Amino acid sequence: MIFFTFLLFWVSIQFGQIIEDSIAYAIVLSIGIIHGSNDFTILKKQQTNTKSFLKSTGFYLFLIIMCIVSYVAIPFASFIFFILLSSYHFGEQHLEGKVLGSKLLKSILYIAYGMLIFSLIFIENLSDVDVIMQNLTGYIIPNEWINIMFIISLSLLVVLFAFLFTRKIKPQIHIVRELFYILLLFLVFKTSSLILGFAIYFVLWHSIPSILDQAKFLSGDYSFKTILEYLKTAFVYWLISILGLVIAYYFLDESLFNSIIFIVLFAVTAPHVWVMNRMKQ
């Protein structure tokens, strides 16, 4: 994870944005999409009978519909909710199992960690974020909001970890190592384009660890064989996703295509977060 982060960090220094974004799209469209392609397989593994599986599948589809409706009705609020939801998801993947405490405490930690990652990405790419927000919602996020998000998320992490140590609930986490990770990611976000910076975190730091966790849940362990089985199961869903994106790209204009991409991303993130949360429990 660190090796490939440094490698792409070097790429971001040596090459221009076209090369950076091409690499970013390649890894997101491959590993990034694959990491969420086995949701139904995981749902089925969690259920004891067909009826409960159908009920869970129905709820999964209901979440998708609700996300689509909310974006059509209030796009700006939906985007903010998407950031909060993704923040929780990133934090859960990175910190789950490393922190003891109540469900509320851990949830706040997860959100704070994810918000810190997003704020670091946004701070270094303010103009690009403004363009994306304008295209997707018709509004922009004020720069003050992003600075406040950074301050709040960092403060929450410091206060909550200090609280855990005072309660003698020592997290299974190496503070110096985590600070090094944050510094490394900040340097990556600072030197790379918005797309590559996000892709590096999303794929290397989130998707690959998630795939390992999912493979272990489905097969009892992770090895070359179980990862291969995971990829085989995910392949059909991944192929459908790629074909859908290609068709949309060729038949829609750029602004509509970007909106469709976000709607799809938002719509599948909510149920995916729900499935992953159940899996980890």
Q: How far apart are the first and last CA of the chain?
A: 25
Residue for token pair 């969690």:
46
What pLDDT does 161 receive? Answer: 83
What pLDDT does 180 receive? Answer: 92
What pLDDT does 169 receive? Answer: 67
Residue for token pair 């270094």:
124
Cβ atoms within 10 A of the Cβ of 62, count? Answer: 12
What pLDDT does 108 receive? Answer: 92
Amino acid at 138: G
What pLDDT does 170 receive? Answer: 66
| CA 82 – CA 206 distance, rounded (Å) | 16
| CA 153 – CA 141 distance, rounded (Å) | 17
**What's the DSSP call for residue 179?**
H
What pLDDT does 22 receive? Answer: 87
pLDDT in tens, the chain (281 residues): 889 888 888 888 888 878 888 888 888 888 988 988 888 889 888 877 888 888 888 999 999 999 889 988 998 999 999 999 999 999 999 988 888 778 888 899 999 999 999 999 999 888 888 888 888 888 888 889 999 999 999 999 988 888 877 776 666 777 888 889 999 999 999 988 888 889 999 999 999 999 999 999 988 887 888 888 899 888 988 898 888 888 888 887 776 777 777 788 888 889 999 999 888 88
Q: What is the DSSP string of 170-235?
A: --SS-HHHHHHHHHHHHHHHHHS-HHHHHHIIIIIIIIHHHHHHHHHHHHSS-SHHHHHHHHHHHH
What pLDDT does 182 receive? Answer: 92
Residue partners of 177: CB distance under 8 A and separation at least 6: none
- Report the run of H or E that residue 75 belongs to, with start and end: helix 75-95
Choose among 1, 28, 39: nearest CA to 268. Answer: 39
Residue partners of 180: CB distance under 8 A and separation at least 6: none
Residue partners of 114: CB distance under 8 A and separation at least 6: 86, 87, 88, 89, 90, 91
Domain that holds residue 137: 2-280
What pLDDT does 222 receive? Answer: 79
| CA 2 – CA 205 distance, rounded (Å) | 9
pTM of structure: 0.90
Q: Work out how many domains the chain is built from and give that number.
A: 1
72: exposed, middle or buried (C-beta count within 10 Å: 0-12, 13-18, 19+)?
Answer: exposed
3-class secondary structure, 71: helix
Q: How far is CA 19 from the centre of its chain?
A: 23
What pLDDT does 18 receive? Answer: 84
What pLDDT does 184 receive? Answer: 92
